[in-house]
Structure 1
Amino acid sequence: MRKDFTPEYVPVQGIEHFLLHGPEHRGAPVLLFLHGGPGYPEHFFALQLERAWQGMFTQVHWDQRGAGMTLARNGRDAHPRSIDQMVDDLHGIVEHLKRSYEVPKVVLLGHSWGSALGSLYALRRPENVAAYIGSGQVVSLRENERVGFEEVKRQAQAADDRKSLALLEQVGDYPPADADEFLRALPKVRKVQDAYEQGPGIGTLLVKTLADRVFTLRDLGSLVRASSANAALLRELVDFDLRAHGCRYACPVHYLLGMNDSTTPTDLAGAYFDELRAQRKALTIIPRAGHSPMFEQPEAYATALKAVRAEL
């Protein structure tokens, strides 16, 4: 671990949560990165983001309940029970950061599942949010999956990709109504979607982090346990629909979306964005990027972030 990145464990709701603090930049807003999954920490990429963002933000990464170092530290006590519990955890982390950095608000950057978590917090606690940034923005998990499945099937048909088409045929009607059937089918669909994403896959990106000594082989254990640790949360998330929680945000909202995202299709996120009301809002589409534009096209993403930073 580099000396300018500082690990910390913070007690919130009965367990110790892992935070990784990046270098503190004088006068820069504090940005809390909310990882995806649930259960897939992204603090491994902190150094890559620091290089790309060049001091625009003081970034903090949090391994959520059921993920990464927080899961490793607490074991079964860190298995999440509900989305509301996760939102309450986030509130505890935000309050800790406000005290630690002596700031009235923080920027939230939600990626994938983290975008659902961040959106809910921004809707409920806007007084603590300097701006909400969504990437790989979740709106309705079932609708995300249906649209994404149809799109990747179309791409496989156009490419005459018989192997992928056979795998999708095994899945049948998607997404299934039953939550457990859905969770069993999901890895097969993701395997095909990953093959059609533009830019490097997350696996390739993780390998590159080994040189930064942020991601280690020890972390693999928590990644392997992620699905079982988050089983209850995943079952609730299957029927999550952000639209049911409203679209009026009393804080700035920015969506930075990959043009080729087949996991959380950009058209669906864009339709919700058109309906939402906020103090300020802006939508940026990142070309040649999929579900993880901040890693797939770091320079273009950093350019989009500069516009967000300029408004703070």
Structure 2
Amino acid sequence: MFTRKTALIQNENSIAKLKAITIGGVQQWITVRGEDKRMPVLLFLHGGPGTSQMALIGDYQKELEKHFVVVNWDQRGAGLSYTKQVTKETMTIEQFLKDTIELTNYLRNEFLQDKIYLVGHSWGTILGLLAINDHPELYHHYFGVSQVLNMSKIEELSYRLILEKARKHNHQKAITQLTEMGKPPWSSFKNNRIYQKYLEVFKSGISRDGVLLKTFVKKMFKSSEYTFWDMIRFIRGQYFSNKNLMDEVRSLDLSEMIRFVKVPITLMMGRHDLATPAELTKIWFDRLKAAEKDWVWFERSAHSPLFEENQKFIELVLAQTERR
């Protein structure tokens, strides 16, 4: 709890590193783990903005470590990468995209690979889609989990669907609170907390079963990658990232910007996810022109299919990569 490290992997060609590297002129942290460092690289782009997954994912990626060099990155301003070096002026989508490409090229050079595999979750799907659009030559395949295209429209639809759920269940307190706060966007942190609360109440938020958040908290406390003070850093980084990025995120519309991709793409959507309802994404996906494209429903998931139905997620990633 007082020193940072990542668990060793006892294989001859294995790699298990927790290290800081310079990306975009500032120190940013990554974990690099795999049973064989000659395997393809798989880079994860976490959600949020600011919701690092480095200290949460241990058990969820062990199987992937047999087949890939798995890289988790605490993005600028998040988790271990939340430092005084990172100014609010650099918290822009353009800078995050530059960071993503710079890290991609670092990994390509480090492991002597022409291309890598890319997974984005929630906010991370914005970076993922922009990365494959701008630099398709760098990526074998893109996996978008809970894909975000237009945050403003997603929030409006999400709010309407949650209010419908409240009325369907005759949940008077929820109806009153949601009606009083009105449609998004909300300038009040309190209103956002109310909205997040009812996503969880109606089993449509972080997870369908409602226990994943508690599981994450337990995993963070047991994690060797984060110290006690890093957990405080994690919380501060979440607030900092949301405060300085969300206005720009809400102004972005990838459904208009991106209508063709040159990289094979797989979207994985939770059937019960009302944080990023799939309705708008499916309309875009059906019109998308792509080298290859697949849409996969996770029937028992809400917003976190890669964790909620972890085995299915792993099998899909392996099935797609084995086709290369």
With normalisation by structure 1, the TM-score equals: 0.91
Matches within 5 A, 1:27-38: 28-38=39-49
Letter in 2 for 1:175: P
Is this contact kept in 1: 2:76–2:86, CA < 8 A?
no
- The residue aligned with 2:289 is 277
Is this contact kept in 2: 1:22–1:46, CA < 8 A?
no
> 217-226 vs 32-41, which deviates more?
217-226
> 194-203 vs 88-97, which deviates more?
194-203
> Cα offset for 1:163?
2.7
- The residue aligned with 2:243 is 231
Q: Deviations over 1:4-36 (max 9, x none)?
A: 331111112210110111124365321110001
Higher helix share: 1
Letter in 1 for 2:64: W
Distance in 2 of aligned mates of 1:193 and 1:23: 35
Is this contact kept in 2: 1:56–1:309, CA < 8 A?
no
- The residue aligned with 1:186 is 192
Name the SS for the 2:144 alignment partner.
strand
- The residue aligned with 1:44 is 55
Q: 1:164 aligns with which of 150, 174, 185?
A: 174
Matches within 5 A, 1:136-175: 136-172=146-182, 174-175=183-184
Q: 1:262 aligns with which of 259, 274, 287?
A: 274
Name the SS for the 1:17 alignment partner.
strand
- Change in Cα spacing, 1:57 to 1:183, as seen in structure 2 (3 Å) is farther
Distance in 2 of aligned mates of 1:77 and 1:51: 35
- The residue aligned with 2:7 is 2
Distance in 2 of aligned mates of 1:310 and 1:83: 32
Distance in 1 of aligned mates of 2:91 and 2:223: 33
Is this contact kept in 2: 1:175–1:182, CA < 8 A?
no
Q: Deviations over 1:147-181 (max 9, x none)?
A: 11111222222222223223312321x123xxx62
Is this contact kept in 1: 2:34–2:67, CA < 8 A?
no
Q: 2:23 aligns with which of 2, 5, 12?
A: 12
Task: Please list every run of 5 or more consecutive structure 1 residues that lacks an aligned counterpart in the other structure.
Answer: none
With normalisation by structure 2, the TM-score equals: 0.88
Name the SS for the 1:137 alignment partner.
coil
Q: Deviations over 1:259-300 (max 9, x none)?
A: 111111122222111111111111111111011111111122
Distance in 2 of aligned mates of 1:83 and 1:242: 12
Identity of aligned residues (%): 25
- Change in Cα spacing, 1:161 to 1:217, as seen in structure 2 (3 Å) is farther
> Cα offset for 1:251?
0.7
Matched, 1:121 2:126: no
Number of residue-to-residue matches in the alignment: 307
- Change in Cα spacing, 1:78 to 1:194, as seen in structure 2 (3 Å) is same
Is this contact kept in 2: 1:148–1:263, CA < 8 A?
yes
Letter in 1 for 2:46: H
> 3-12 vs 89-98, which deviates more?
3-12
